[in-house]
Amino acid sequence: MDRAKKPTAIPVSPIQPTPQVSISDDNSRVTANLPTGEQLDVLLYGATVISWKSANGKENLFLSSKAQLDGSKPVRGGIPLVFPVFGPPSPEHATGKLPQHGFARNSRWEYLGKSSSESSSLPNSKGDASVKLDFGLSNSMLSDSKWDYQFNLTYSVTLSQDSLETSLVVRNTGSSNYDFQVLFHTYLAINNISETTITGLENVTFKDKVQGGKETQPAGNPISIESETDRIYTTAPGQVIKILENGKDRYELTRDMLSDVVVWNPWIEKAKGMADFGPEDGYKKMICVEAGSVSAWNTLEAGDTWEGGQRIKAL
């Protein structure tokens, strides 16, 4: 028997697509894909981001064609993580027995899991807007770190529809204070170094490592690369850095708790001298614009925590 007044059917919301995360068969890398097409690859060796692709398939990171991805040495390209020392350590410092750029980039990390942002409630939503991958490293995971301190690192990599974020949390789990430096050694992919400029650092004094660390006054113009370049700029984290190609914005870098920006390109001769750098003219296709805290030491007291990060927007 039909009722005069039937209850209104409750609408069923369509199931939104979600980010997909997978681990390779050999347990060496983690891959994340957004429903909109963006993709991220992270090696567990060094927790090194080796690929970041936009929805159209365009690669945003430079990876050397000769990079070793088997865990035999730090990766040349992508985003190697520098900790707890930048560059060759001073023999007199507590980091003096460590390799160049520390041990984070040549240690195997643990994949801790993923989390996704809430799905948009807007019409025509394509699903979750981002996915965050977390990786962990502690002193107990190292067989011989040559750095006698207790620590716990949590490294988070967040893939969004137009950006990539990397952040590091450093926890001093021991009873002694220690000093450290940190850097996201980002290799950005570009079309041609001769057509690339950097803005946001025009009026910032820098240390020129090619000239032995000489304090150098800025020229006041956007930075262009015409020879081997290795500079440390110290500027407020709120300063936005942009990388342009042919005068058009290509990347935008923002930082949190990271007061330094390293600009590096090996140019012709130095590129030839690096066995793991390729192709030989690959220096034309990359520029390192690296957010970090390396011009001085950060002191972390026992029981304390430090956190810093960067956000790179592909434009």
Catalytic residue ranges: 185, 290
Instruction: Name 246's Cβ contacts closer than 8 Å, sequence gap at least 6.
Output: 195
Residue 76: CA atoms inside 13 Å, Cβ hemisphere, count? 18
Give the residues across from 19 on adjacent strands. Answer: none
Task: Render 173-238 in DSSP notation, one character per residue.
Answer: -SSS-EEEEEEE--EEE-S-GGGEEEES-TT--EEEGGGTSEEE---SS-EE--S-EEEEEE--TT
How far out from the chain centre does Cα 219 lie? Answer: 28
Residue 245, token pair as written in the block: 């190609």
Q: Which helix (H) or strand (E) holds 267?
A: helix 267-273
Q: Cβ of 10: how many Cβ atoms within 10 Å? A: 5
